[in-house]
Amino acid sequence: MENLTSPWFLNGDMLCAAMDPKTVLQMIAVDDIGKYGARAFTDAAALNGRVIDLAGDAVTMPEAATVLSRGPDTPSYRTNPHLHRLNLH
């Protein structure tokens, strides 16, 4: 989730992602990955052979822009609804 605040995705007040605005993207925080990764080592015997599905939020880019805009002293982010139409091949 933290990658959305990088210059790769943020351009001024625009959250840029070349995907359909209706596409739902599953995201998880880096801290959560670290917690479950650490648990795999500390509880290795109990977790051996088990599968743990990790997923945090599942949102579209317009929904992510709304969430990012909620912070204090944070600009109001928006998305470009036509960016996904670019032919990048």
The DSSP result for the chain, as a single string, is -GGGGSTTTEETTEE--SS-TT--EEE--HHHHHHHHHHHHHTHHHHTT-------EEE-HHHHHHHHTTSTT----EE-TTGGG----
Across the range 12-22, mean pLDDT stands at 79
Q: Nearest-CA neighbor of 32 among 53, 46, 48?
A: 53
Tokens 């969430």 correspond to 67
* pLDDT confidence band for 18 (50 / 70 / 90): confident
Tokens 């036509």 correspond to 82
> pLDDT for 28-75, tens place per residue?
888 988 998 899 899 999 999 898 888 788 888 888 888 878 877 766
What per-residue confidence (pLDDT) applies to 45? 94
